[in-house]
Amino acid sequence: MSGRRHGLVIAIDGPSGAGKSTVAGQLAQRLGYRKIDTGAMYRAMAWLIDRAGIDPADVEELERLCSAAEIRLDCPNDVQRVFANGEDVTELIRTPAMSLMTSRISALKPVREAMLRAQRLMGQGGGVVLEGRDIGTVVFPDAEVKFYLFASPEERGRRRFAELAGKGEQVTQEETVAEVARRDLQDSERDLAPLRQADDAIAIDSSAIGIEEVLGIMEAAIREKISSTESVT
Protein backbone atom coordinates (compact mmCIF):
# COMPACT_ATOMS: atom_id res chain seq x y z
CA MET A 1 0.00 0.00 0.00
CA SER A 2 1.01 3.66 -0.16
CA GLY A 3 2.66 5.39 2.76
CA ARG A 4 -0.54 7.37 3.29
CA ARG A 5 -2.56 6.68 6.41
CA HIS A 6 -6.05 6.33 4.97
CA GLY A 7 -5.45 4.76 1.55
CA LEU A 8 -4.60 5.87 -1.95
CA VAL A 9 -4.88 9.23 -3.65
CA ILE A 10 -6.88 8.77 -6.86
CA ALA A 11 -6.90 11.59 -9.40
CA ILE A 12 -9.59 12.03 -12.05
CA ASP A 13 -8.98 14.89 -14.47
CA GLY A 14 -10.71 15.88 -17.67
CA PRO A 15 -12.86 18.50 -19.40
CA SER A 16 -16.33 19.52 -18.25
CA GLY A 17 -19.16 17.15 -19.03
CA ALA A 18 -17.02 14.02 -19.33
CA GLY A 19 -18.79 12.45 -16.33
CA LYS A 20 -16.03 12.98 -13.74
CA SER A 21 -18.33 13.96 -10.91
CA THR A 22 -20.68 11.00 -11.17
CA VAL A 23 -17.85 8.54 -11.62
CA ALA A 24 -15.78 10.04 -8.78
CA GLY A 25 -18.77 9.86 -6.43
CA GLN A 26 -19.51 6.21 -7.25
CA LEU A 27 -15.88 5.22 -7.04
CA ALA A 28 -15.42 6.94 -3.68
CA GLN A 29 -18.52 5.21 -2.34
CA ARG A 30 -17.34 1.76 -3.45
CA LEU A 31 -13.88 2.27 -1.97
CA GLY A 32 -15.10 3.94 1.22
CA TYR A 33 -13.07 6.99 0.23
CA ARG A 34 -13.89 10.68 0.34
CA LYS A 35 -14.74 12.45 -2.91
CA ILE A 36 -13.20 15.89 -3.31
CA ASP A 37 -14.88 17.92 -6.06
CA THR A 38 -12.20 20.56 -6.74
CA GLY A 39 -14.36 22.24 -9.42
CA ALA A 40 -16.94 22.97 -6.71
CA MET A 41 -14.19 24.62 -4.67
CA TYR A 42 -13.24 26.89 -7.60
CA ARG A 43 -16.93 27.65 -8.13
CA ALA A 44 -17.34 28.64 -4.47
CA MET A 45 -14.30 30.88 -4.81
CA ALA A 46 -15.83 32.52 -7.92
CA TRP A 47 -19.02 33.11 -5.98
CA LEU A 48 -17.10 34.84 -3.15
CA ILE A 49 -15.21 37.05 -5.63
CA ASP A 50 -18.42 37.94 -7.42
CA ARG A 51 -20.29 38.74 -4.23
CA ALA A 52 -17.43 40.86 -2.86
CA GLY A 53 -17.43 42.77 -6.17
CA ILE A 54 -13.67 42.43 -6.46
CA ASP A 55 -11.98 43.37 -9.70
CA PRO A 56 -10.06 40.18 -10.63
CA ALA A 57 -7.21 42.43 -11.83
CA ASP A 58 -6.74 43.80 -8.30
CA VAL A 59 -4.18 41.24 -7.13
CA GLU A 60 -3.86 42.55 -3.57
CA GLU A 61 -7.60 42.45 -2.89
CA LEU A 62 -7.83 39.05 -4.52
CA GLU A 63 -5.00 37.68 -2.39
CA ARG A 64 -6.65 38.99 0.76
CA LEU A 65 -9.97 37.37 -0.11
CA CYS A 66 -8.43 34.06 -1.22
CA SER A 67 -6.19 33.57 1.77
CA ALA A 68 -9.05 34.24 4.20
CA ALA A 69 -11.65 32.19 2.30
CA GLU A 70 -13.00 29.07 3.93
CA ILE A 71 -14.38 26.59 1.39
CA ARG A 72 -15.93 23.46 2.81
CA LEU A 73 -17.39 20.36 1.13
CA ASP A 74 -19.86 18.42 3.25
CA CYS A 75 -21.51 15.19 2.30
CA PRO A 76 -24.54 14.56 4.54
CA ASN A 77 -26.58 11.58 3.23
CA ASP A 78 -24.11 11.17 0.35
CA VAL A 79 -25.24 14.42 -1.25
CA GLN A 80 -22.51 17.02 -1.57
CA ARG A 81 -23.09 20.49 -0.13
CA VAL A 82 -20.68 23.35 -0.72
CA PHE A 83 -20.04 26.14 1.79
CA ALA A 84 -18.21 29.42 1.17
CA ASN A 85 -17.33 31.29 4.36
CA GLY A 86 -20.10 29.38 6.12
CA GLU A 87 -22.80 30.05 3.52
CA ASP A 88 -24.43 27.19 1.62
CA VAL A 89 -23.78 27.96 -2.06
CA THR A 90 -24.49 24.46 -3.45
CA GLU A 91 -27.14 25.51 -5.97
CA LEU A 92 -25.94 29.09 -6.54
CA ILE A 93 -22.63 27.96 -8.06
CA ARG A 94 -24.16 25.74 -10.77
CA THR A 95 -25.57 28.34 -13.18
CA PRO A 96 -24.07 28.71 -16.69
CA ALA A 97 -22.89 32.26 -15.81
CA MET A 98 -21.09 30.96 -12.72
CA SER A 99 -19.48 28.18 -14.79
CA LEU A 100 -17.93 30.69 -17.16
CA MET A 101 -16.88 33.02 -14.37
CA THR A 102 -15.28 30.11 -12.50
CA SER A 103 -13.34 29.12 -15.59
CA ARG A 104 -12.06 32.73 -15.86
CA ILE A 105 -11.06 33.25 -12.21
CA SER A 106 -9.45 29.80 -12.00
CA ALA A 107 -6.68 31.13 -14.26
CA LEU A 108 -5.57 33.62 -11.56
CA LYS A 109 -2.55 32.92 -9.38
CA PRO A 110 -3.96 33.90 -5.93
CA VAL A 111 -6.99 31.69 -6.58
CA ARG A 112 -4.94 28.68 -7.70
CA GLU A 113 -2.47 29.02 -4.83
CA ALA A 114 -5.24 29.06 -2.21
CA MET A 115 -7.01 26.09 -3.79
CA LEU A 116 -3.77 24.14 -4.16
CA ARG A 117 -2.99 24.55 -0.45
CA ALA A 118 -6.51 23.57 0.60
CA GLN A 119 -6.68 20.54 -1.70
CA ARG A 120 -3.29 19.18 -0.65
CA LEU A 121 -4.30 19.50 2.98
CA MET A 122 -7.57 17.67 2.36
CA GLY A 123 -5.99 14.85 0.36
CA GLN A 124 -2.52 14.25 1.75
CA GLY A 125 -3.53 11.45 4.15
CA GLY A 126 -5.01 9.45 1.26
CA GLY A 127 -8.35 7.66 1.07
CA VAL A 128 -9.55 10.26 -1.43
CA VAL A 129 -10.83 10.53 -4.97
CA LEU A 130 -10.09 14.03 -6.27
CA GLU A 131 -11.68 15.22 -9.48
CA GLY A 132 -10.64 18.33 -11.41
CA ARG A 133 -8.36 19.59 -14.15
CA ASP A 134 -4.86 19.59 -12.61
CA ILE A 135 -4.95 16.91 -9.91
CA GLY A 136 -2.61 14.42 -11.58
CA THR A 137 -0.33 17.12 -13.01
CA VAL A 138 -0.04 19.71 -10.21
CA VAL A 139 -1.99 19.05 -7.01
CA PHE A 140 -0.96 15.41 -6.54
CA PRO A 141 1.64 14.53 -9.19
CA ASP A 142 2.46 11.58 -6.88
CA ALA A 143 -1.14 10.26 -6.84
CA GLU A 144 -1.09 6.45 -6.84
CA VAL A 145 -3.66 6.14 -9.63
CA LYS A 146 -4.51 8.78 -12.23
CA PHE A 147 -7.29 8.85 -14.79
CA TYR A 148 -8.02 11.24 -17.61
CA LEU A 149 -11.71 11.03 -18.47
CA PHE A 150 -12.85 12.66 -21.67
CA ALA A 151 -15.60 12.53 -24.32
CA SER A 152 -16.32 14.24 -27.62
CA PRO A 153 -17.33 17.93 -27.30
CA GLU A 154 -20.75 17.15 -28.83
CA GLU A 155 -21.47 14.42 -26.31
CA ARG A 156 -20.30 16.58 -23.40
CA GLY A 157 -22.46 19.46 -24.62
CA ARG A 158 -25.46 17.13 -24.85
CA ARG A 159 -24.94 15.80 -21.33
CA ARG A 160 -24.51 19.24 -19.84
CA PHE A 161 -27.65 20.46 -21.62
CA ALA A 162 -29.66 17.54 -20.22
CA GLU A 163 -28.32 18.31 -16.73
CA LEU A 164 -29.19 22.02 -16.92
CA ALA A 165 -32.59 21.45 -18.56
CA GLY A 166 -33.36 18.89 -15.84
CA LYS A 167 -32.77 21.61 -13.25
CA GLY A 168 -35.13 23.97 -15.07
CA GLU A 169 -32.41 26.30 -16.47
CA GLN A 170 -33.64 28.24 -19.51
CA VAL A 171 -30.87 27.33 -21.96
CA THR A 172 -30.73 25.92 -25.47
CA GLN A 173 -28.57 22.99 -26.51
CA GLU A 174 -26.70 25.32 -28.84
CA GLU A 175 -25.82 27.72 -26.01
CA THR A 176 -24.71 24.86 -23.80
CA VAL A 177 -22.43 23.37 -26.45
CA ALA A 178 -20.91 26.85 -26.92
CA GLU A 179 -20.40 27.26 -23.15
CA VAL A 180 -18.62 23.90 -22.95
CA ALA A 181 -16.39 24.83 -25.90
CA ARG A 182 -15.50 28.17 -24.34
CA ARG A 183 -14.60 26.57 -21.03
CA ASP A 184 -12.51 23.91 -22.79
CA LEU A 185 -10.53 26.67 -24.44
CA GLN A 186 -10.10 28.74 -21.26
CA ASP A 187 -9.22 25.76 -19.09
CA SER A 188 -6.69 24.26 -21.49
CA GLU A 189 -5.00 27.44 -22.73
CA ARG A 190 -4.31 29.23 -19.46
CA ASP A 191 -0.70 29.56 -18.26
CA LEU A 192 -1.17 28.15 -14.75
CA ALA A 193 -2.03 24.48 -14.33
CA PRO A 194 -3.90 24.10 -17.64
CA LEU A 195 -6.11 21.10 -18.28
CA ARG A 196 -3.72 18.43 -19.48
CA GLN A 197 -3.45 14.65 -19.32
CA ALA A 198 -0.65 13.57 -16.97
CA ASP A 199 1.93 11.35 -18.70
CA ASP A 200 1.14 8.49 -16.33
CA ALA A 201 -2.66 8.87 -16.43
CA ILE A 202 -4.95 6.18 -17.84
CA ALA A 203 -7.08 7.83 -20.53
CA ILE A 204 -10.72 6.76 -20.78
CA ASP A 205 -13.04 7.95 -23.55
CA SER A 206 -16.57 7.99 -22.12
CA SER A 207 -18.27 9.09 -25.39
CA ALA A 208 -19.71 5.70 -26.17
CA ILE A 209 -19.53 3.79 -22.89
CA GLY A 210 -21.67 3.98 -19.77
CA ILE A 211 -20.75 4.72 -16.16
CA GLU A 212 -20.57 1.07 -15.16
CA GLU A 213 -18.04 0.36 -17.88
CA VAL A 214 -15.93 3.39 -16.89
CA LEU A 215 -16.06 2.29 -13.25
CA GLY A 216 -15.03 -1.23 -14.24
CA ILE A 217 -11.91 0.07 -16.00
CA MET A 218 -11.05 2.26 -13.02
CA GLU A 219 -11.58 -0.45 -10.42
CA ALA A 220 -9.42 -2.89 -12.36
CA ALA A 221 -6.58 -0.33 -12.53
CA ILE A 222 -6.87 0.41 -8.80
CA ARG A 223 -6.87 -3.30 -7.93
CA GLU A 224 -3.79 -3.81 -10.06
CA LYS A 225 -2.04 -0.89 -8.35
CA ILE A 226 -2.87 -2.23 -4.89
CA SER A 227 -1.68 -5.75 -5.69
CA SER A 228 1.54 -4.54 -7.34
CA THR A 229 2.44 -2.34 -4.33
CA GLU A 230 1.58 -5.14 -1.90
CA SER A 231 3.82 -7.58 -3.78
CA VAL A 232 6.89 -5.31 -3.40
CA THR A 233 6.40 -4.63 0.33
DSSP 50-75: HHHT--TT-HHHHHHHHHH--EEEE-
Contacts of 81 (CB under 8 A, 6+ apart): 73, 74, 75, 88, 90
Comparing CB distances to ligand DC, the nearer of 33 and 47 is 47
Residue 179 binds ligand DC (CB under 6 A): no
Give the nearest distance from C-beta 231 to ligand DC in angstroms: 32
Residue 102 binds ligand DC (CB under 6 A): yes
- Give the binding range for ligand DC (CB under 6 A) out of 132-140, 149-157, 198-206, 221-229: 132-140
Burial label for 228, CB within 10 Å (0-12, 13-18, 19+), is exposed
Residue 156 binds ligand DC (CB under 6 A): no
Candidates 7, 11, 24, 43; binder of ligand DC (CB under 6 A) is 43
Q: How many residues would you count in the chain? A: 233
Contacts of 108 (CB under 8 A, 6+ apart): 56, 62, 192
- Give the binding range for ligand DC (CB under 6 A) out of 84-92, 127-135, 169-177, 203-211: 127-135
Comparing CB distances to ligand DC, the nearer of 106 and 206 is 106
Separation of alpha carbons 139 and 193, rounded Å: 9
Give the nearest distance from C-beta 106 to ligand DC in angstroms: 3
Given the rule CB under 6 A, which residues bind ligand DC? Answer: 16, 38-40, 42-43, 102-103, 106, 132-134, 183, 187
